Amino acid sequence: MARRKMIYEGKAKILYEGPDAGTVIQHFKDDATAFNGEKKAVIAGKGVLNNRISAHLMTKLESIGIPTHFIRSVNMREQLVRRVEIAPVEVVVRNVAAGSLCKRLGIEEGTVLFRPLVEFYYKNDDLGDPMVNEEHIITFGWADPYELEEMVTMAWRINDYLNGLFSGIGLRLIDFKLEFGRIWGEHGELYLVLADEISPDTCRLWDAKTGEKLDKDRFRHDLGDLVEGYQYIAEKLGLVPAGGILQGGNVNEQLAEKLEQIENELSKERRLRDLKPGNKPRKP
């Protein structure tokens, strides 16, 4: 196979040029980082699990009408997605207080918020992704008011849907981070789609009964084996068999490939939202 052209290497993923114009391959690495890259480790199985979980959740969201960048799984570590221009704004939705919210405002971890709280962060590693408000976003042109409104509307809808999905399998969705991207149609019209990933790297998920933390906080605060937590989530979602994808500390490659094939067979049935002119015109 010809060497693929790498577009970007981030902390958790690598982007390669995709087979068609306007597409990219998202490769999920086993690298784990926290505290803006200060803490690092390589954790066998993390990339495979995140790839599967994100592909699954994006597919589910697409099925309820959320436009996403996801096209299809390619192999156990990679997925094909639409290439977008990422808006430099991360949207965080919180249902229960945890993480930086507790630190910043002195709120006790675990406090149930009386309504979901939407926050914005400016995507800038050098500045440590600072929290910003709508005024900053508009003033500095990181998104226009229409895009911002659409992001918030989608974020609320995604939260409603994911809350139901996770509570149905005994997990509590504490909070999560979203990234949105822009795609231009053939007549110059703009579409906003959900991009990046939704995985235990970007969500906080607690076991509903025991309160056990199953997400990246395990790594951040040394709370236990990271892959065990991710594996448990994937198992509950019906994506991997009980017993896991790891064998003697390494990914059971054959099993993971097989699971991917099954998922791709299923996804043939799925109709991707057409980004056709007129489908979703940009507001004036």
Ligand X SMILES: Nc1ncnc2c1ncn2[C@@H]1O[C@H](COP(=O)(O)OP(=O)(O)OP(=O)(O)O)[C@@H](O)[C@H]1O
Q: Is 69 in the site for ligand X (CB under 6 A)?
A: yes
Q: Is 87 in the site for ligand X (CB under 6 A)?
A: no
Residues 23-52 that bind ligand X (CB under 6 A): 24
Among 1, 2, 3, 8, binds ligand X (CB under 6 A): 8
User: Contact letters (x/-) for ligand X, 202-241, by CB under 6 A?
Assistant: ----------------------------------------
- CA–CA separation, 69 vs 66, rounded Å? 10
Nearest CB to ligand X, comparing residues 81 and 96: 81
CB 148 within 8 A of CB 135: no
Q: Is 56 in the site for ligand X (CB under 6 A)?
A: no
Among 10, 145, 170, 277, binds ligand X (CB under 6 A): 10
Among 12, 137, 162, 256, binds ligand X (CB under 6 A): 12
Comparing CA positions, the residue from 100, 128, 103 lying closest to residue 204 is 100
Q: Is 125 in the site for ligand X (CB under 6 A)?
A: yes
Q: Is 22 in the site for ligand X (CB under 6 A)?
A: no
Nearest CB to ligand X, comparing residues 83 and 218: 83
**Least distance from ligand X to the Cβ atom of residue 3, Å:** 20
Residue 226 has phi, psi (to 5 degrees) of -65, -50
Nearest CB to ligand X, comparing residues 57 and 84: 84
Nearest CB to ligand X, comparing residues 96 and 197: 197
Q: Is 143 in the site for ligand X (CB under 6 A)?
A: no
Q: Is 81 in the site for ligand X (CB under 6 A)?
A: yes
CB 158 within 8 A of CB 146: no
- CA–CA separation, 7 vs 13, rounded Å? 11
Residues at the interface with ligand X (CB under 6 A): 8, 10-13, 15, 24, 69, 81-84, 86, 123, 125, 179, 181, 195-196
